[in-house]
Amino acid sequence: MSETLETLPSTDRKVPQHVAIIMDGNGRWARKQGLPRIEGHRRGAESVKRALNAARDFGVRYLTLYAFSVENWNRPKEEVDGLMKLLERFLVDQHKELMKRKIRLRVVGRYRELPVRIQELLQRAEADTSDFKDQTLALALNYGSRTEVVDAMQAIARAAQAGTLDPEKLDYETLRSYLYTKDMPDPDLVIRTSGEYRLSNFLMLQAAYAEIYTTSVFWPEFTEAHFKAALDDYAARERRYGKTAEQLQNA
């Protein structure tokens, strides 16, 4: 039997600092239950609360959730409108909880293209929680890794044109400072639910060295126990970053 986070000695526990989740399977879960797709999204919002609780309980400091991609605008208007209403309700309901538990909210993505009311709620939550340091919830909204790179490169080009950045000295750390996630560490672990094996345009630069964990569980059924199973799997892996096992042992 493999060791779990509960049985490992505290000095041997490898808890990821940053976990990112591709929350997939809401629609398929709803179809399986004979329910409308929006009900799957509503149940998925409950799983967000469970994941946030699990992150806190297991010591994960940063949790990034892929909530709405740039491609999701292509879904039927009725579904998109329903998702926006759910997001608005979630932000209203969770504001006091974030304040009470001292959780910082961060938004990554082109959120200024979202409905005005949601922009206002996001800006308020970001401002009210900006001083909290212990735990961060990042919502990837209207997010796409390719559009993030485009936005970063446009900003870099403007800086170079203004003479505040030397293109010849551009390296990844400089590029990273122009990404949406510039004030967060790169994810250590990416979890994808519903049995798919794609990154789907999610944190593709940041997740270059992340461990990837997939589960067949649909997102509305994802519980604290499933979160823990992902952390257990992560704890059993050896992260080499291009080095050999011998190099790591001698480090």
Active site residues: 24, 72
Distance CA(120)–CA(91), nearest Å, equals: 10
Q: Which helix (H) or strand (E) holds 249?
A: helix 245-250
187, amino acid identity: P
Distance CA 65, CA 54 (A): 14
User: Quick one: how far is CA 39 from the chain centroid?
Assistant: 22
Residue 159 contacts by C-beta under 8 Å, 6 or more apart in sequence?
165
Rounded to whole angstroms, the Cα distance separating 125 from 104 reads: 8
